[in-house]
């Protein structure tokens, strides 16, 4: 018989507080780096939207449109509609943080054009990850207490899917940032030295949030695998 007493499991508490602390720290770092370096003007005078258009042109990408979007750091590339969405601050901004973020999003558009494998995997996994994300609270709140024998394997599989999604996100994000740095250096949009160092700090801080998300997902997945193994052992 399985007793659902794991809410008081010290490992569960450590995992919960550890992952919350990690994600708060990562998002604080990216916000503080962005707040600081969005005050550093780029001598090139280009805005995020202008450098994005230039990068797309240089790569012969004509079917991706660039749009401003509300919200802070809401920037993303939408592969389904081939739209590069830049937050208003970065769309109009002529500072090194805006140029860095705009170039990073262009990195995703270039990945899409070049059929970069991890981006293809990530796009293919979006649907199943969304479903897993919807199943987790449903099974976690209800079924886990009533029928843990059924709920635990379902939760382990769902958290496994989320973990794999976060894992495949890592090369996609690191590659986009590496491309952004190379492109900004080669176009001269961000000057070498202080401007480049500041731009790099913003992008590296943003990359850390994806590492934090992966570590959280991995920890949660392993926790449910442990519960599942423990539960099975008790039945033998």
Using CB under 5 A, which residues numbered 160 to 199 contact Zn ion? Answer: 173, 176
105, 194, 195, 236: the active-site residue: 105
173 vs 195, beta carbon nearer Zn ion: 173
105 vs 154, beta carbon nearer Zn ion: 105
112 vs 136, beta carbon nearer Zn ion: 112
Q: How near is the Cβ of 173 to Zn ion at its closest, in Å?
A: 5
Query: Quick check: is 105 catalytic?
Result: yes
Q: How near is the Cβ of 37 to Zn ion at its closest, in Å?
A: 17
176 vs 228, beta carbon nearer Zn ion: 176
C-alpha to C-alpha distance for 145 and 143, rounded to whole angstroms = 5
Q: How near is the Cβ of 108 to Zn ion at its closest, in Å?
A: 6
Distances from the Cα of 85 to the Cαs of 48, 152, 166, in angstroms? 11, 39, 21
Residues in contact with Zn ion, counted by CB under 5 A, come to a total of 2
Write the DSSP assignment of 120-138 as a string of letters: HHHHHHHHHHHHHHHHHHH
Contacts of 111 (CB under 8 A, 6+ apart): 118, 119, 172, 175, 176, 179
C-alpha to C-alpha distance for 61 and 30, rounded to whole angstroms = 29
> Can you give the binding site for Zn ion, defined by CB under 5 A?
173, 176
Q: Give catalytic residue positions.
A: 105
């Amino acid at each position: 018989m399985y007793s659902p007493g794991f809410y008081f499991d010290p490992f569960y508490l450590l995992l919960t507080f550890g992952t919350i602390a990690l994600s708060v720290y990562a998002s604080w770092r990216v916000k503080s780096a962005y707040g600081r370096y969005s005050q550093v003007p780029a001598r090139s005078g280009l805005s995020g939207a202008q450098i994005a258009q230039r990068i797309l042109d240089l790569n012969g990408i004509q079917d991706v449109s660039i749009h401003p979007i509300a919200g802070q750091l809401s920037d993303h590339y939408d592969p389904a509609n081939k739209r590069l969405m830049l937050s208003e601050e970065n769309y109009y901004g002529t500072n090194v943080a805006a140029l860095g973020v705009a170039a990073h999003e262009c990195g995703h558009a270039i990945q899409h054009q070049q059929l970069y494998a991890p981006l293809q995997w990530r796009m293919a996994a979006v649907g199943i990850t969304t479903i897993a994300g919807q199943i987790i609270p449903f099974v976690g709140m209800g079924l886990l207490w009533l029928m843990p024998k059924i709920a635990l394997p379902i939760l382990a599989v769902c958290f496994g899917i989320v973990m794999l999604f976060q894992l495949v996100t890592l090369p996609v994000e690191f590659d986009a940032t590496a491309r952004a740095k190379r492109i900004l250096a080669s176009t001269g949009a961000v000057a070498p030295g202080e401007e480049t160092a500041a731009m790099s700090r913003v992008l590296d801080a943003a990359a850390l949030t994806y590492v934090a998300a992966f570590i959280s997902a991995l920890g949660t997945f392993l926790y449910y695998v442990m519960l599942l193994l423990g539960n099975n052992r008790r039945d033998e």
